[in-house]
Amino acid sequence: MSDPVTLGVILAGGLARRMGGADKMGIRIGNATILERALERLRPQCARLIVNANDTPRFASAGVPVVADGIPDFPGPLAGILAALDFAAAHIPDIAWIISAPGDCPFLPRDLVPRLHHARHAAGAALACTASAGRQHPVIALWPVALREDLRRALVEEGVRKVGDWSARYARAVAEWPVEPVDPFFNVNTPDDAARAEQIAEKFPEG
């Protein structure tokens, strides 16, 4: 059985405080920026790609639609997930699933989407999220467009802000990835992380 067509969204709304406000998604790791690497890894797995960001001009060169939050006051990644669900419903109604990932992960797995769909289907779950080294990554997850109004109510009426708090309301499958030779969910939050990512990319160019 083929996997359902899926919209990929890179969540690029963070303020990069630990990077001194620098544009961490523009940092070059190997021969590409972190954002370019994330898009390149998701592109073969998704029918369409978008970037969620509120500073839309900054991502004009990404080559994909840039979609701002529909909820005011920058409430965090759940607002970006909702923006992607709304985009899918409005512009590509034949897509029933989105995959979300933060824009600071330069080594996203090349089998991310099919493995999450497989885990969800095998468990009969509503959602699926990733894990590595025994730790779940609730932002890197598969979401059904059918839950967008539930998420809107949680954000607007209930004030829910943590991705894990909201996704825990539903049956959730977890797909675990190995961390050797590279943890595919390594994220760049500090200058030291960026230096480490450069070392990893040099040693494991296909990692």
Tell me the whole-structure pTM to 2 decimals: 0.93
Neighbours of 176 (CB within 10 A): 14
Neighbours of 120 (CB within 10 A): 25
pLDDT at 26: 87
pLDDT at 1: 52
Cβ contact 11:25 at 8 Å = no
pLDDT at 19: 43
Contacts by 23-27, CB closer than 8 A, 24 or more apart: 23/58, 24/103, 24/104, 24/188, 24/189, 24/194, 25/103, 25/104, 27/188, 27/194
pLDDT at 62: 87
pLDDT at 207: 65
What string of pLDDT tens digits covers the 207 residues of the chain?
568 899 999 999 754 444 445 577 889 998 899 999 999 999 999 999 999 998 878 888 889 999 999 998 888 999 999 999 999 999 999 999 999 999 999 999 999 999 999 999 999 999 999 999 999 999 999 999 999 999 999 999 999 999 999 999 999 999 999 999 999 999 998 999 999 999 999 998 876
Residues with Cβ < 8 Å from 6, sequence gap 6 or more? 45, 46, 47, 95, 97, 98, 99, 113, 117, 142
Cβ contact 115:68 at 8 Å = no
**Domains in the chain, start-ordered, CATH in brackets?**
6-203 (3.90.550.10)
3-state DSSP of 49-64: EEEECCCHHHHHHHCC
Report the amino acid identity of residue 33: T
Phi, psi of 76 (to 5 degrees): 110, -170
